[in-house]
Amino acid sequence: MNTITSQPLEKLNIFSLKGVQMKTFHITWLTFFFCFFAWFGIAPLMPLVGEQLHLTKGQKGNAAIAAVSATIIARLIVGRLTDKYGPRKVYTWLLVLCSFPVMFIGLANSYTSFLLFRLGIGVIGASFVLTQFHTSVMFAPNIKGTANAVAGGWGNTGGGATQLIMPLIAAGLVGAGWVGKADSWRYAMIIPGVLLLVMARLYWKYTKDTPAGNFEELPQKTNAKKENTFLLAAKDYRTWILTAAYAACFGVEITVDNFAATFFHDDYKATLIMAGLLASIFGWINIFARALGGIVSDKVGKRFGFNGKVLLLAILLLLEGVGIILFSKSGGLAVAIFMMFFFGLCLKMANGATYSIVPFVNAKAVGSVAGIVGAGGNVGAMLIGFLFKSMDYDTAFLYLGIIVLGVGVVVLIVRLSMVKTLKREAIIIQDEMVEMRA
């Protein structure tokens, strides 16, 4: 293995498949796409599920909460496992294990069994931690934010694709005369489960843990594995600031992914396919928006340093909060779609900006920091789920916008403290290097 290919890349060429770094990049985002597709595959089919299983609005809300709650613990565990065993092994096993609840949710015949399957499917959300870890180790510091944001953003488009494609799959099964409309959701969910197994095979065969090889091939990783990276990440207050920020952006995103189709179907009387199409707009913004957040964050960081990165994140959260409040007051369908696009753009850029900062919090615990921050997104989604369950959507969105505004203010206030901490750490590292040379 030559020196060039064994080092993190300093440039992201999205049209290249050359080298283990770019192969891993493309396989990683594509795998995450299908994970997101499977994670929210049942969401646009909920009108069919609710009708057949006689689910109340509260029970539908509980199912949505279950889907994001399981991810909280899963992301914490997977972050630690990834630091220890490497992303290749952990990602492959995660895909295999999660394919089963995805394929078998069609066996649910009651509210309780459906809730348990939805809980099991939620574990696949931990794939995000692996995606961010893998792109972080494959690319140099100057491009980490961009690489993380592009991989995460393209993967997140699975949430938009599933809103449009799953109703079409269900309709196709009915049109072909293979199943009745009432049971179409059961058979449609087999497809995303099979896709997870296909990606597990591809991931195992074509990726490496690092540019230099897999963890077991790198003896220098032995000591690092013994260190408790979770505690290193948990003791750093910056991890928790980013956790709150991610709850206010990604937490909102997966809430909208869960409720948007039902919202347009119930409140605006859209057909199942039309409701899925309208909801998919929110997901498709990820094609460029999350990547844009990472790119802008890298450029701002290059010019204004860490302070610029955190300031950008705060501004995006503030704009997101304003957008959600205006969305709650929109009234008409056209205005609602426009405001959903606006706050969705700010939200997804904030996602990218957050994970542009994550790799710099603690170089020894990238996986654990990514896991804790990622879990924060799902904690946010879980809490927001209770909000949407207990009140009408307009009021829930209003309160949600106010909360996001508050988080943006907190990030704005503490950014200078975060910058000072980073500078102190840089000085300590520099002094240690001088001592080593001496």
Q: What local confidence, expressed as pLDDT, does residue 434 receive?
A: 40
Q: What local confidence, expressed as pLDDT, does residue 422 receive?
A: 64
Nearest to 338 by CA among 326, 348, 347: 326
Six-digit token pair at 315? 């501004």
Residue 43 pLDDT > 70, yes or no?
A: yes
Q: What local confidence, expressed as pLDDT, does residue 262 receive?
A: 76
When pLDDT is cut at 50, 70 and 90, the band that residue 226 belongs to is low
Q: Which residues contact 279 (CB under 8 A, 6 or more apart)?
A: 44, 160, 163, 256, 257, 260, 261, 263, 264
pTM for the full predicted model = 0.80
Residue 41 pLDDT > 60, yes or no?
A: yes
**Average pLDDT score over residue span 344-370:** 90
Six-digit token pair at 120? 């099991």
Q: What local confidence, expressed as pLDDT, does residue 5 receive?
A: 57
CA 145/CA 139 separation, integer angstroms:
9
Lowest mean pLDDT segment, chosen from 101-105, 139-143, 263-267, 323-327: 263-267
**Alpha-carbon dihedral sign for residues 10, 13, 14, 17:** negative
Tens digit of each residue's pLDDT (9 = 90 or more) over 148-183? 889 998 998 898 889 889 999 999 999 999 999 999
Residue 414 pLDDT > 60, yes or no?
A: yes
**Average pLDDT score over residue span 116-123:** 96
Tens digit of each residue's pLDDT (9 = 90 or more) over 174-217? 999 999 999 999 999 999 999 999 999 999 999 999 999 898 88
Residue 257 pLDDT > 50, yes or no?
A: yes
Domains of the chain: 19-209+229-437 (1.20.1250.20)
Alpha-helical (H) ranges within 127-284 are 127-138, 144-156, 158-175, 184-188, 190-206, 221-226, 229-234, 237-267, 272-284
Q: What local confidence, expressed as pLDDT, does residue 423 receive?
A: 64
Q: Read out DSSP for 12-51?
A: --TT---HHHHHHHHHHHHHHHHHHHHHTTTGGGHHHHHH
